[in-house]
Copies of this chain bind each other. A is one copy, B any other.
Amino acid sequence: MVCDRSVAFCVGGACVAKDTKERILAAALEMFSQNGYAGTNIRELAGSVGMGKSSMYRHFESKAEIWNALLDEMIAYYAERFGSPEHLPPVPDSLEGLVAMTMGMVDFTVHDEKIVMTRKVLSIEQFRDARARELATRHFLTGLTEMFTQIFAGMMDKGLLRQDDSKMLAFAYTAPISALIHLCDREPEKTEEAMAQIEAFSRHFVKTYQKTGE
């Protein structure tokens, strides 16, 4: 039987197409996030993976297919990471726990290079590609909001937050944090400052919406 690269169970120095494909996509993500799709050329892309230009076409039949495959990967990664309910973080047991959990999430999402580059690509290409547009809305707006809608509902049930519209609270909480994450993407030298701002905002938020009296 012929080596099936779509499954990549082959071993040794050869038949590593799957691997190469992923290295290409990783390099593409990096270049697209810096110069955009139109501003990236195949020669540089191939060079950064250590290949000649033409070898690229053994793995992808066109530049557009690289873009689509990258988008597929980003969509799949997002669905796996944020789409399923079992990946919901546990409802915090205290207001301070909410702050800590928030800072943990932000710290991860701001320092994970792949996620940072994904946000950049989506910012650049959101007006040109319909699927990028959809994913951008989920990344930048609805994803975090839906997640925190459930968390806040749980915290209200526990009596940690005052009874209120949990969806509205989630939106009011995540949108400012999202804005500061964007700032970190744009001006990485301000990351520390932005993280401090996020923590201050988080504390202000819990002070505002905490359950008072009984």
Contact = CB atoms under 8 A, between A and B. Distances in A.
A205 interface: yes
B39 A140 contact: no
Interface string A176-214: 101110110111000000000100110011001100000
A124 B197 CA distance: 25
A176 to B, nearest CB: 4
A74 interface: no
Copies of this protein in the complex: 2
A109 to B, nearest CB: 16
A22 interface: no
A141 interface: yes
A39 B37 CA distance: 8
Nearest to A185: B127
